[in-house]
Amino acid sequence: MIFLNKTNGVKFNCRTTSLLGLCFLLLTAGCSKPVPKQFSEPIRTNWKPIGKRLASAHQSPAIPTPLAFKTMHGDTANSDNLWIAAAPMFELDWTVETNMYIPEGPTYDRQGNVYVSPLQPPENVSLISLDGITGERRWSIPGEERNFGSGAILILNNPDNTNTDLIYHSTYVRSMAIRTNGDIIWETLTGLSLEPLVDGENDTSHSFGMNYHPQTDSLVGVTMDGHVFAMDRKTGESRNALIQLPGAPTPPSAERPANWILKVGDKATDEAFGKLQDGRSLFTTIVDVIYGGSGQVTNYFGIDPNTGKIYIAATAPDGEDGVEDQISEFGALYLLDLRKQGDTYTFEIENYIAFEGGTGSTPSISADSSRVLVSDSNNNVIALDAQLNELWRLDVGDQVAASVAISPDNNEIYAVTKADIIKIIDHGTYAELVWKADLDAYENADEFNALTPTITANGIVVSIGAGMIHDGKQAMLSVGMGLIDRETGKLRYFAEGREESIAVASIGPDGGFYTANSPVRRAVGRGLFPNLTEPLVGGVSRYKPIRLDLLVRDASCAAYDRLNNHIATYSTSTSASETEKQQIQVLIQQGLNAVNQALLEATLDNLTAQTLTQFLNEAALALQLGQVAIAQQHTLAACSAFEFNRG
Quick one: average pLDDT of 207-227?
96
The predicted model gives 206-227 an average pLDDT of 95
* Mean pLDDT computed over 257-276: 91
Give the model's confidence band at 18: pLDDT under 50 very low, under 70 low, under 90 confident, else very high.
low
- Predicted local distance difference test score (pLDDT) of residue 347: 98
pLDDT value at 31 more than 70? no
What pLDDT is stored for residue 111 in this prediction?
96
Comparing 14-28, 64-78, 355-369, the range with the smallest average pLDDT is 14-28
Across the beta sheet with 165-170, the strand order is 154-157, 165-170, 174-179, 184-189
Task: Say what angle helices 575-600 and 628-640 make with each other, to 10 degrees.
Answer: 30
pLDDT (tens digit, 9 = 90+) per residue, 489-536? Answer: 999 999 999 999 999 999 999 999 999 999 999 999 999 999 999 999
| Residue in 546, 646, 559, 544 with CA at minimum distance from that of residue 603 | 546
Lowest mean pLDDT segment, chosen from 318-327, 453-462, 559-568: 318-327
Tell me the whole-structure pTM to 2 decimals: 0.94
Residue 28 has pLDDT above 50, yes or no: no
Structure confidence by residue, pLDDT tens digits, 103-143: 998 999 999 999 999 998 989 999 999 999 999 999 999 98
pLDDT at 17 over 70: no
- The pLDDT value recorded for residue 294 is 65
SS3 483: strand
Question: pLDDT tens digit string along 271-302?
Answer: 999 988 778 889 988 888 777 666 789 899 99
Residue 319 has pLDDT above 90, yes or no: no
Over the stretch 375-421, which tens digit does the pLDDT of each residue have? 988 899 999 999 999 999 999 999 888 889 999 999 999 999 989 99
Q: Which amino acid is at 379?
A: N
Do 528 and 475 meet the contact criterion of CB atoms below 8 Å apart? yes
pLDDT digits (tens, 9 = 90+) for 530-549: 999 999 999 999 999 999 99
Question: Contact 119/97 with Cβ under 8 angstroms?
Answer: no
How high is the pLDDT of residue 132?
Answer: 97
**Inter-residue long-range contacts of 350-355, CB under 8 Å, 24+ positions, other chains counted:** 350/309, 350/387, 351/387, 351/388, 352/316, 352/388, 353/384, 353/388, 353/390, 354/316, 354/317, 354/320, 354/330, 355/316, 355/330, 355/331, 355/382
- Average pLDDT score over residue span 267-271: 95
Distance (Å, whole) CA 253 – CA 315: 13
The mean predicted confidence, pLDDT, of the chain is 90
CATH of 549-640, one of 1.20.120, 3.40.720, 3.40.50, 1.10.3470: 1.20.120
Higher local confidence (pLDDT), 37 or 326: 37
pLDDT at 322: 82
Give residue 105's pLDDT: 85
pLDDT at 289: 79
Is the pLDDT assigned to residue 25 strictly greater than 50?
Answer: no
Rounded Cα distance between 222 and 150, Å, is 10
**pLDDT given for residue 590 in this prediction:** 98
pLDDT more than 70, % of the chain: 91
What is the C-alpha separation between 38 and 34, in angstroms, rounded? 13
More confident residue, 20 or 349: 349
What is the number of other CB atoms lying within 10 angstroms of the CB of residue 83? 22
Q: Which helix (H) or strand (E) holds 64?
A: none
Measured distance CA(416)–CA(484) in Å, rounded: 13
Residue 165: is its pLDDT beyond 80?
A: yes
CB 5 within 8 A of CB 473: no
Query: Which has the higher per-residue pLDDT, 593 or 474?
Result: 593
CATH topology of domain 19-546: Methylamine Dehydrogenase; Chain H (2.130.10)
Residue ranges of the domains in the chain?
19-546, 549-640
Lowest mean pLDDT among 189-203, 237-251, 344-358, 613-627: 189-203
User: What's residue 244's pLDDT?
Assistant: 96
Average pLDDT over residues 79-89: 98
Does the pLDDT at position 59 exceed 90?
A: no
- Burial class of residue 609 (count of CB atoms within 10 Å of its CB; 0-12, 13-18, 19+): middle
